[in-house]
Structure 1
Amino acid sequence: MNQKASKGILLVHGLGDSPGYFQDLAQELVSQGFLVRTVLLTGHGSKPADLINVEFEQWENLVNHHIKLLEKEVDELWLGGFSTGANLVTSYAFENEEEISGLLLFSPGFASDERTLLPFSGIGSFFKTWLFQNDNSQNILRYESLSMNASNLYYQTLKRVEEGFEKKSFSKPVFITISEDDSVITSKDIVSIFTKNFKNPKSQLVWFGKENGFKDSRITYLPSYIPNQKIANFSHLSVLFKKDNFFYGKNSEYKMFRNGQDKIYNSQNDELWYSAWGLQEEGKYFARLTWNPYFKKNIKNMTEVINSNK
């Protein structure tokens, strides 16, 4: 009979993303003795159109099923997620806190920057198929097209996790990273949720940006403006990747030049910087920041939270 692993974690990716987003993180967790599992959410790993007919219950059932499978194999069960995936695992944790040892959440999608429009995405899918399309994407780790139904799926995860926040708080250790300049989520609202709903004194939130005077001593501030590395601020996805990541790393061939700029990048005239979506300044071109210069430091912070359970 196989002996149980001492601790395990299920990692759930974000909307349009893939398990490949966890390559760097998974290696770190394995080195700490974790049995690491991840899932491919229904509609992913093929083509963006495959998300058009997916229902929220398929995602929820898939995640719940794999949590139950992993639970049988380990003594200490952790859950982790990026963006939409963080919503899915957090909803489960709030309903089943006694089963969970803690949460590791990266750019969690608890508070959307599009909160006023999202409720209409379900109805909108009957009239419009796509919010935007990029049929020429070379990104092997995520979709660059978003259907109206995919947007509605995210909204369903947001509603479900908000229901949990309204009912209770979570007492186990939690590690969260967010960028002040994240274009996808409302960062200050995430801080409010952290302070109100994640009560464990050993929990940590890492804030990439300027000090904002938050009154929670569990928050660590890391400057997101790093001019000597041509980094203006941090993006939604950058927190997960090492500087030498095979695809999103600083020196990889792939660059996210489609980043809300009014023009096409010209290497002769433009100074190349990196940022979240949409930043524009005269004389500079901002590609998406796709790696985390604080990756090793963040792993240290995360490890402190994990070990606080002992």
Structure 2
Amino acid sequence: MYSPAFNGSSDLLPMAKYAQYVIEWADQDPETNYLRYDSLPMTAAASYYETTQRVQQALKSNPKYSKPVFMLISEGDTVVDKYFAVEQFANRFDNPNSQLIWLGSNPPLKARTTAYNMNLPEQRISEGSHMAGLFSPSNPEYGVNGKNRLCNNGQGAELEVQCLDGATVWYSSYGYVEEGKIHARLTYNPYFEQSLASMQQVLLSD
């Protein structure tokens, strides 16, 4: 499970199931790459909310899940309710071989958890992000030298333009701001190999 969407982080998300009939876009921005990550149709937001509701119903009807679970969450995630996901890991996914990878220095759970520091100035990384866990640093689209730089990062139009124009950037989750730095979205996991090794341990466990 990568950034599992058991629950959304926005209190406005439940309104999407009604708003989809009158509003086309939850967020629409000029697309700067062909993978079209920057915009969100309202129907997609509504589908996301519906999925979280089904997942929560399934969790309620199955208090415990006894098989091993691998879960990876970024401390900087602003999309999913990361603490709700951790609560499910702690209380429902109780197999001793389950593992939680926490991309950040302050994990809310200690047992069965491995935390990795995401303040990596030598790599110009300020913190992790929602999408970073999935991708290798060598990924041709989203890696260190990937073709796609996500400059729409909640930092204001002026810094976004500088990012798009090729300025030296740091990397973070959406909305992270630090004086004197331009931030693009972190789109890869600097601990990708370690994460895969942990996942393999879970998959091979009894």
For normalisation by structure 2, the TM-score amounts to 0.91
Cα RMSD (Å):
1.9
Match status 1:109 vs 2:5: yes
- Residue 159 and residue 240 in structure 1: after superposition, are their counterparts in 2 closer, same or farther (change >3 A)? same
Q: Tell me the CA shift for residue 120 of structure 1.
A: 1.3
Alignment partner of 1:192: what SS? helix
Q: CA deviation at 1:124?
A: 1.0
Which of 15, 20, 39 in structure 2 is aligned with 1:145?
A: 39
Give the Å deviation of 1:138. 1.6
Which residue of structure 2 aligns with residue 126 of structure 1?
Answer: 21
Cα shift readout 1:216-245 (whole Å, capped 9, x = no counterpart): 411111111111111011111111111111
Q: Is the 8 A contact 2:72 2:102 kept in 1?
A: yes
Corresponding position of 1:50: none
User: Secondary structure of 2:18's partner?
Assistant: helix
Q: 1:248 aligns with which of 128, 136, 142?
A: 142
Give structure 2 stretches of 5+ with no counterpart: none
Q: Which residue of 1 aligns with 2:180?
A: 283
Corresponding residue for residue 152 of structure 2: 258
Q: 2:31 pairs with 105, 113, 136, which one?
A: 136
SS at match of 2:162: coil
What displacement does 1:112 show?
1.2
Cα distance in 1 for residues equivalent to 2:72 and 2:31: 31
Q: Which runs of 5+ in 1 are unaligned?
A: 1-104
Match of 2:111 among 217, 237, 241: 217
Q: CA deviation at 1:188?
A: 1.7
Distance 1:275 1:139 in 2: 21
Q: Counting strand residues as a fraction of each chain, which structure ranks higher?
A: 1
In structure 2, the residue matched to 1:232 is 126
Asked whether the 8 Å contact 1:270–1:283 carries over to 2, the reply is no
Q: Secondary structure of 1:284's partner?
A: coil
CA shift, 1:143, in A, is: 4.2
Deviation at 1:139, TM superposition (A): 3.1
Conserved in 2, the CA contact under 8 Å of 1:205 and 1:219? yes
State the distance in 2 between where 1:269 and 1:137 align. 13
1:211 to partner: Cα distance: 2.8
Q: Secondary structure at the match of 2:150?
A: coil
Match of 1:184 in 2: 79
Is contact 1:269–1:283 with CA below 8 Å preserved after alignment? no
Q: Give the Å deviation of 1:119.
A: 1.5
Please identify the structure whose Cα radius of gyration is greater.
1
Q: Is the 8 A contact 2:86 2:108 kept in 1?
A: no
1:205 alignment partner, SS class: strand
Say how many residue pairs are matched. Answer: 202
The equivalent residue for 1:300 is 197
C-alpha separation in 2, matches of 1:220 and 1:174: 14
TM-score, normalised relative to structure 1 = 0.62
